[in-house]
């Protein structure tokens, strides 16, 4: 059983925004909506600048799904959170609830009136017949039904953004971490006791 996931390697992302562009191009995303975005932390600080690409994370316990007044969300058997634009009423509750700011609303009228919600579909379309014109118009390309993976991850030039089955991308990331010899310290001695040999006495607490 596959469980679709995204993983962004902050060590590798070069903030090229290629994933954003690929997504817009592949899905013909409505004007004013970016299903994916790249955010840079400590922008311009040498040695501390890290970029992360973020979109819908297809949560297991999705807040958007829980607060939707018309229950237009559903989760596929691959763990992709999708929604039905025919049911969406544009209330904006999913946008309040989402931690990542993934759901977005094209403006549908004066005074910021919200249209139908639009978000990342993991390139899995929506409830319309797969690979149909109607599905493409509403949700974009259904690449999973073509045997492909999300465009953003597949075209990422540094392979910072991984997307696909959780087991496989975990393997890829683990392999990568072992090779470059960093990243795993988050769990290990480096974090707990600073640089030093395993088994060395921990640092003495400061006297008060």
126 binds other proteins (CB under 8 A): yes
134 binds other proteins (CB under 8 A): no
Distance of alpha carbon 40 from alpha carbon 60, whole angstroms: 26
Q: Which two tokens stand for residue 129?
A: 């017949």
Distance of alpha carbon 20 from alpha carbon 55, whole angstroms: 9
DSSP class of residue 104 equals B
CB 128 within 8 A of CB 102: no
Query: 7 — alpha (psi -120 to 50), left (phi > 0) or beta?
Result: beta
Smallest separation, CB 123 to other proteins (Å): 10
56 binds other proteins (CB under 8 A): no
Distance of alpha carbon 128 from alpha carbon 33, whole angstroms: 21
Of residues 14 through 53, those in contact with other proteins by CB under 8 A are 17, 20, 32, 34, 37-43, 47-48, 50, 52
Smallest separation, CB 160 to other proteins (Å): 10
87 binds other proteins (CB under 8 A): yes
Smallest separation, CB 60 to other proteins (Å): 7
Of residues 175 through 204, those in contact with other proteins by CB under 8 A are 175-176, 179, 181-186, 190-191, 194-195
98 binds other proteins (CB under 8 A): yes
Q: Which two tokens stand for residue 168?
A: 């496989």
CA dist 94 → 17, 64, 134, 159, 201 (Å): 25, 4, 24, 30, 50
170 binds other proteins (CB under 8 A): no
How many chain residues interact with other proteins (CB under 8 A)? 103
With CB under 8 A as the contact rule, the residue among 62, 117, 120, 151 that binds other proteins is 62
With CB under 8 A as the contact rule, the residue among 61, 197, 198, 201 that binds other proteins is 61
Which one, of 29, 41, 149, 135, lies nearest residue 82 by Cα? 135
Smallest separation, CB 186 to other proteins (Å): 6
With CB under 8 A as the contact rule, the residue among 25, 28, 137, 168 that binds other proteins is 168
Distance of alpha carbon 18 from alpha carbon 31, whole angstroms: 18
With CB under 8 A as the contact rule, the residue among 25, 86, 137, 200 that binds other proteins is 86
CB 37 within 8 A of CB 55: yes
């Amino acid at each position: 059983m596959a469980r679709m996931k995204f993983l962004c390697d902050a060590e590798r992302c070069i903030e090229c925004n290629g994933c954003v562009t690929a997504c817009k191009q592949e899905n013909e995303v409505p004007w004013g909506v970016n299903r994916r975005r790249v955010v840079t932390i400590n922008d311009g600080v040498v040695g501390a600048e890290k970029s992360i690409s973020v979109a819908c994370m297809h949560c297991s316990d999705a807040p958007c799904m829980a607060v939707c007044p018309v229950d237009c969300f559903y989760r596929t058997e691959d763990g992709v959170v999708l929604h039905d634009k025919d049911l969406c009423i544009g209330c904006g509750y999913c946008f309040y609830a989402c931690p990542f700011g993934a759901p977005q609303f094209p403006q549908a009228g004066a005074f910021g009136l919200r249209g139908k919600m639009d978000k990342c579909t993991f390139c899995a379309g929506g409830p319309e017949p797969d690979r149909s014109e109607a599905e493409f118009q509403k949700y974009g390309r259904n690449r999973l039904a073509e045997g492909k993976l999300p465009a953003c991850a597949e075209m990422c030039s540094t392979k910072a953004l991984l997307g696909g089955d959780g087991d496989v991308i975990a393997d890829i990331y683990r392999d990568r971490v072992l090779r470059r010899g960093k990243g795993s310290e988050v769990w290990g001695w480096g974090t707990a006791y600073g640089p030093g040999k395993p088994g060395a006495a921990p640092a003495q607490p400061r006297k008060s």
